[in-house]
Amino acid sequence: MALKITDDCTACDACVSTCPNEAISAGDVIYLIDPARCTECVGAEDSPQCQDVCPADCIIKDPAHDEDHDALMAKYHGLHG
């Protein structure tokens, strides 16, 4: 399952540099997570780094992009070879 950023985002920029997949970018008002690049840090870290650093606790699982651990790992390897 990919993650998404809710409207509670303060656009503080803390999450951007922690993403190993470069899946987070600035939107018009809040930051956005590209579900095609988000692996919830599977393959890189033990937990989603963006969630760990977010001071607004506005990064949640996106039920629209339901993927199991194996799918997330395959996506990670597809991104990083």
- What's the pLDDT tens digit per position in 29-56? 999 999 999 999 999 999 999 999 999 9
Q: CA–CA separation, 66 vs 28, rounded Å?
A: 25
Q: CA–CA separation, 40 vs 1, rounded Å?
A: 7
Region 11-36 average pLDDT: 97
Percent of the chain's residues with pLDDT above 70: 100
Q: CA–CA separation, 66 vs 6, rounded Å?
A: 17
Residue 1: which pLDDT band, with cuts at 50, 70 and 90?
A: confident
Q: Select from 14, 20, 69, 24 the least CA-distant residue to 44.
A: 20
Q: Which CATH architecture has domain 3-80?
A: 2-Layer Sandwich (3.30)
The pLDDT mean for the chain works out to: 97
pTM of the model: 0.94
Residue 78 tokens read as: 């597809």
- For 19, which DSSP code? -
Region 13-39 average pLDDT: 98
